[in-house]
């Protein structure tokens, strides 16, 4: 049924069967347009092995601007091909933006580093977070080699001031989470 309905009166004259056919045609047309739009968006986002990369003078790597500030495509590694594209590795030195790495980016980088799928990398990251949380909650400390030590510290009771009223009040003992950064990480940042 290729009948175009322009007014409500025309629509009211249609039978129930014609209305259902018209709705189905409109839905199919909308879905086809959405498929075409999605396909073109995916094609536009698909990374190409040699485009939009700036050459690094000191190494045989290229910074990939499309994938975020942490990703470097390694052109030298012949075993680094993943699904037709260059293997990516996380490099903190190429960080240029002020935005922190998201969990999705971290899971993707972890999956690449572990040479596994994203689901296994996500479950590994969630397991580490659960272990650290559990240990800190019980008052312990966790050392992440090369990153630092995360621990819980108890703050003593103290006098504090309410900024709105200026009134002095006593604050009870509480716990805070602290982190000491590893020397190796500090040295990698500073030089």
Q: What percent of the chain has pLDDT over 70?
A: 68
Give the single-character DSSP code of 187. H
Question: What's the confidence (pLDDT) of residue 4?
Answer: 64
Please give the C-alpha separations between residue 107 and each of 4, 114, 116, 124, 125, in angstroms, as whole numbers. 50, 10, 11, 9, 7
The per-residue pLDDT of the chain, averaged, comes to 76
**pLDDT tens string 29-41:** 878 888 888 888 7
Higher confidence at residue 129 or residue 46? 129
The answer on pLDDT for 60 being more than 60 is no
- Residue 19: the pLDDT is 77
| Contact criterion met (CB below 8 Å) for 74 and 87 | yes
pTM: 0.46
Residue for token digits 């037709």?
84
Number of other CB atoms surrounding residue 88 within 10 Å: 21
């Amino acid at each position: 049924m290729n009948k175009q309905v322009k007014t409500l009166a025309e629509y009211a004259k249609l039978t129930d069967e014609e209305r259902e056919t018209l709705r189905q045609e409109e839905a199919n047309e909308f879905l086809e347009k959405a498929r075409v739009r999605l396909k073109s968006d995916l094609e536009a986002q698909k990374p190409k092995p040699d485009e939009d990369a700036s050459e690094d003078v000191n190494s045989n790597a290229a910074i990939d601007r499309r994938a975020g500030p942490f990703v470097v495509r390694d052109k030298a590694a012949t075993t680094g091909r993943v699904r037709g594209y260059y293997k990516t590795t996380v490099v903190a030195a190429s960080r240029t933006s002020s935005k922190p790495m998201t969990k999705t980016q971290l899971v993707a980088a972890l999956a690449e580093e572990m040479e596994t799928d994203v689901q296994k990398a996500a479950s590994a990251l969630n397991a580490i977070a659960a272990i650290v949380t559990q240990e800190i909650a019980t008052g312990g400390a966790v050392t992440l080699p090369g990153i630092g030590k995360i621990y819980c510290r108890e703050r003593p009771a103290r006098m504090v001031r309410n900024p709105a009223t200026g009134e002095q009040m006593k604050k009870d003992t509480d716990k805070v989470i602290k982190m000491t950064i590893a020397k190796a990480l500090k040295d990698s940042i500073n030089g």
